[in-house]
Amino acid sequence: MAQDLSQPTMFTSDMTAREIFVEVRANPARARFGFGSKLAIVNVDPQKAYTRPDLFPKTSYITDPRQMEHIDGISAAARTKGLPVVWTHVAYMDNAADAGVWGTRTDTPDSLQNIKYGSQRTEFDDRLNIDRAVDAVYTKRMPSAFFETPLQSFLTWHQVDTVVLTGGSTSGCVRATAVDSLSHGYRTIVPIECVADKHESYHFANLTDLLIKYADVVPVSEVYDAIAGYQG
């Protein structure tokens, strides 16, 4: 029988985004990209504007209360093995002239383009121990950590084939970076405990989509194991 093209074929469900993620992740037939021969940790925007709801309640979010601990832990483990660690944060000029069209939708004290250079909102979370002598720290202005930053050339120089992504938001800058990471040819890994978002639905819907299409979404313990097994 011919397909009726006048009717939608999109699936519907009464399941929550979290339940769908759990179901998809539990599928034993789902193939994985896996870890390659050398990984880098890329920590996307773990800055106070997004990690400290006590300071910035309108823009910050906590999904896993141990997120900063996990990010700091895998970064320290990678650093000990001589593996690259990258940190990005968002910041703009005082007049937001470098925010582009992304900064035109709103203009309140909490708006994106009002994350100014040198402000508290740009500072990395105090729970993170960044070694600026060896870690790469980049300022970005758009969602992806690859866009108009040195990240790609840095990863190429260090012969990285696997990118481990942490930070936030899951539905925003982590997702954008994950898509770019895969597009640049990297095995892309998202440790569940290391990413966060404002709403459970956004978080788990995007984890599901990343898992199906662009990345391996795994427990952070798998990242620790991969780092421990690296021989250099």
Active-site positions read: 173
Asked if the peptide bond before residue 169 counts as cis, ω within 30 degrees of 0, the response is yes
List CB contacts of 80: < 8 A, sequence separation 6 or more: none
Which of these, 63, 78, 41, 53, lies nearest to 192 by C-alpha position? 63
Whole-angstrom distance, CA of residue 182 vs CA of residue 167 = 17
Residue 39, token pair as written in the block: 């990984």
SS3 102: helix
Token code pair at residue 129: 């121990």
Q: Is 4 exposed, middle or buried (0-12, 13-18, 19+ CB in 10 A)?
A: exposed
